[in-house]
Structure 1
Amino acid sequence: MENQFRNVLNNSIVSRGDFSLEVFRIISFKPGYHFKMHSHKRIELNYILQGSCVMMLENKLVKLNQNNSILIFPGSKHDFFVDSKTGIKIVQLEFQMDSQIFTAFQDVLKSELSFLYNLKSNTNHYYKIPNNPEIGNCMERIIKENKLKRNNFQSLSKLYFWEFIILLSRFINRQYEMINRQENEYLKTAMNRIHLNYCTGVTVSELARECNISERYLHKLFTIHLESTPREYCNNLRINKAVELRADRNIPIKEIAYSVGYSTQQYFSRVFKDSYGFSPQTYRKILFESQ
């Protein structure tokens, strides 16, 4: 009976390619822990159970809080810094996938399995996935099966991997739908205006007027689809532009602050610290220690 069951599994989705799980753990790090800049051939997925951290991914700072996930594609340069005063606890997987998976599902990659499509086409460096405990739960089940190694754990682990791929693909598809939805022409207009004028500044009322909608509705669109207010979006853009300039140690902080639209170095430093938990000076030190 057991052999018959295994034959059924082997003829199902479980047999279509393999997953090589190289890191699977639930781990805690103390405040101030810093893993320096690196890259690898593995797919990396981190889910934040407790605390928060900041990651540098291809010259962008990404803040991660509880229940956030970060999916890092192979070859993407990244580091990891624990900014939380209480430390951080994460679920972490690092794995590779057999090329047979892409071949077996090539006809539906783009429409149904967009995570695999993005992985194969190498169009992204990472995805930040906010508030999705389903992914964290799936990761924990994969870890549990591979640690306990009970009967048929490899087959069940593969099924969990497929659940994980479907969950990620749903998230990516929702991002595409958001971009293409008609109502979000308002968002595109507002975002374009912010990108063109982040140095000189643009008010919410100006954005709403250009979109021909109310400030309240514009605020709602940003909150629902971008999980930030228009002001926060503008500040995040300024900070990321500043991060790009911080890579040049010859540019003074004061000059960087002015170039991205802040009236004083003190205000820039306060916004930076509020966003990422440490000052621009500390960030520059971390950055050059990573290199």
Structure 2
Amino acid sequence: MAKTPRKEQDPEYLSTLERGLSVLRAFDQNRPEMKLSEVAEVTGLSPAVARRCLNTLEKLGYVGRHGRSFLLRPEVLMFGSAFLASMNLEEAAAPHLQAVRDKTGDSSSLAVLSGHEILYLVHVSTNRQIRLGAGVGTRFPIYPTSLGRVLLAYQPDEVIEDYLETANLEKLTEHTVTSKSKLRKSLKQIRSCGYDSAQDELDYGIVSVAVPVFDNEGQIAAAINCSTSTTRVSREELIETRVPLLRQAAGEIEVALRRWPFLVHSIKGS
């Protein structure tokens, strides 16, 4: 799980770079365009610093202007495309997730931990409409997702406890588990059975099941899932029929990861 850098103890930590990246991260689906004052408020930067960051990013081509508002430009995609191209993710994982999708008709994804969220790195979609769309770069909270709980369950105990102490567990539906004691118990069960499932927790009408992907040292590197509509298949049937397919795919991805150890180092942050 990503940790906040201890910048006050690192003389080589560039606060200016941190501020520029915080400006880029301030834009999202709910804030596609922002005025200078809004960027300053979201990032916690002073208006003067926010302005310098925006002007620099604009000259580099990553930020544009529309009237008095700023917005991201397509050039920022080069960072994500460089990661995908250099890490061989499409070759290591996509064919195996595609095979799961072809056999089940469910969407299938690979995700890793990113702070208090999961981050989708590979996604093979279904042709069927589902309530909650996903794709490469999509983020969801850890606690209401089968992917997130699998990823968290295999973390060291101190990481799990830190998450339980600091995470804000909000009710997203009436079925979302927000009790930290229940979540802690679920994580232990996941370690025992090797999978997790979720239904109507992230949003209504969605059921999913996920399994871990381990590196060569037996530590968790990622998780993969199947996700579909509750109108198609029950949670029990999903577990019975998809878990064996996902475990097979996870094994094949683990073999691929041994060919590209730098990919493991990247997604685990070590």
Query: Whose helix proportion is higher, 1 or 2?
Result: 1
Question: Normalising TM by the smaller chain, what interval?
Answer: under 0.3
Rg larger in 1 or in 2? 1
